[in-house]
Amino acid sequence: MKIILEFTDDEARQAEQAYRGPQYASAIEDFREFLRGERKYGNHNGAEQEVVQKIESAFYEIFQGLLND
């Protein structure tokens, strides 16, 4: 059996994003772990540590509801 799907440009972009969903989820999880490691184990001075925490907080706000927490 052969199925041919035709998409508009916008639909093609959305289909590609849906197809790559697992890759996006994996990248998000990797970045979350990176931020956590920097916060817990990074050798940062006070100002740098505040920036790391600010970035981590923004990350959680942006991806709220999409993470497995």
Q: How does residue 5 score in pLDDT terms, banded at 50, 70 and 90? A: confident
- C-beta of residue 49 within 8 angstroms of C-beta of residue 42: yes
pLDDT in tens, 9-33: 999 999 998 899 999 989 999 999 9
Helix (H, G, I), strand (E, B) or coil at 63: coil
Q: Residue 63: which residues within 8 A CB-CB, separation 6 or more?
A: 28, 32
- Full-model pTM: 0.73
The stretch 37-62 carries a mean pLDDT of: 94
